[in-house]
Amino acid sequence: MKKNKNTARLVVLFVVLSIITQLNAQEPTDKVWNVYVSTLQQALKPGLDPCLYVYTVTTSENLRVQRNIELGLMAELHSNLTYYAATAYTRTYGIYFDDEPDGKYKLGSCRESDVVMPDLSCTWSSKFGDINWLAGWYSSTSKSISGKLTLENGKWIYVGTWKWLTNNVDYGKVRFEFDETGTKFSGYYTRKTGTSQYKWHGSGNCN
């Protein structure tokens, strides 16, 4: 008998929870749906690789979306729409559908992107010796280099730092811009906290 009572309580609890869920659920025809944009594996900003942008439809009550907006990982594009109108935008912008620019963040079409991403999996040659991007050194293992590769306004950019490990006195920043083939770069480095820029160029082909 006790087992049957517990089962009955669980059934009642399930029904109550189902009713609450249904009451809180939004209808597709309600104008409460928003379209949000985010990117894969990096902070959201305009002009990145068009293939990186992802579009999501949900309501402003979504706590995860609210948190991602606070962190700069998502942004609202369109608001107060029906679910059908909102999903129409995702089909317009999505790379697997119409692949159109959204006019604010995604500035081009993923299919039309002809900029080759540099392959940093092998050792490149440069003005200041070989660069082993993965191991994080240039010229020799006593000189470190590290940074991040991002697509900015249709160009692949490497921004990072360099340092001599033997004395901890020589260090600075680097900024390299790669060509459309992804096999050459030109840019500069700075020393310590200074702002003077010194040229640094190189090339590599891992194929």
In terms of residues, how long is the chain? 207
- Residues with Cβ within 8 Å of 121's Cβ and at least 6 positions away in sequence, in order, are 133, 134, 206
Domain boundaries, the chain: 30-113, 123-203
- Phi and psi angles of residue 139, each rounded to the nearest 5 degrees, phi first: 70, -55
- Residues with Cβ within 8 Å of 128's Cβ and at least 6 positions away in sequence, in order, are 138, 139, 200
Q: What is the pLDDT of residue 4?
A: 45
Structure tokens at 195: 């702002």
Of 144, 130, 137, 126, give the one whose Cα is nearest residue 186.
126
Of 65, 143, 67, give the one whose Cα is nearest residue 77.
65
Amino acid at 196: S
Longest dimension (CA), the chain: 84
How is residue 31 annotated by DSSP? T
The pLDDT tens digits of the residues spanning 170-204 come to 999 999 999 989 999 999 999 999 999 999 999 99
CA distance 25 to 60: 13
Amino acid at 118: P
Reported as type and span, the H/E element at residue 184 is strand 184-189
How is residue 66 annotated by DSSP? H
Name the pairing type of β-strands 171-178 and 184-189: antiparallel
Distances (CA, A) of 9 to 1, 2, 118, 123: 13, 11, 61, 66
CA distance 162 to 192: 10
The pLDDT tens digits of the residues spanning 4-33 come to 434 444 443 443 334 333 334 688 999 999
The pLDDT tens digits of the residues spanning 86-121 come to 999 999 999 889 989 999 999 888 876 667 888 999
- Residues with Cβ within 8 Å of 34's Cβ and at least 6 positions away in sequence, in order, are 57, 58, 59, 60, 76, 77, 78, 79, 80, 81, 86
The pLDDT tens digits of the residues spanning 28-84 come to 999 999 999 998 767 899 888 888 899 999 998 899 999 999 999 999 999 999 999
pTM: predicted TM-score of the whole model, two decimal places: 0.51
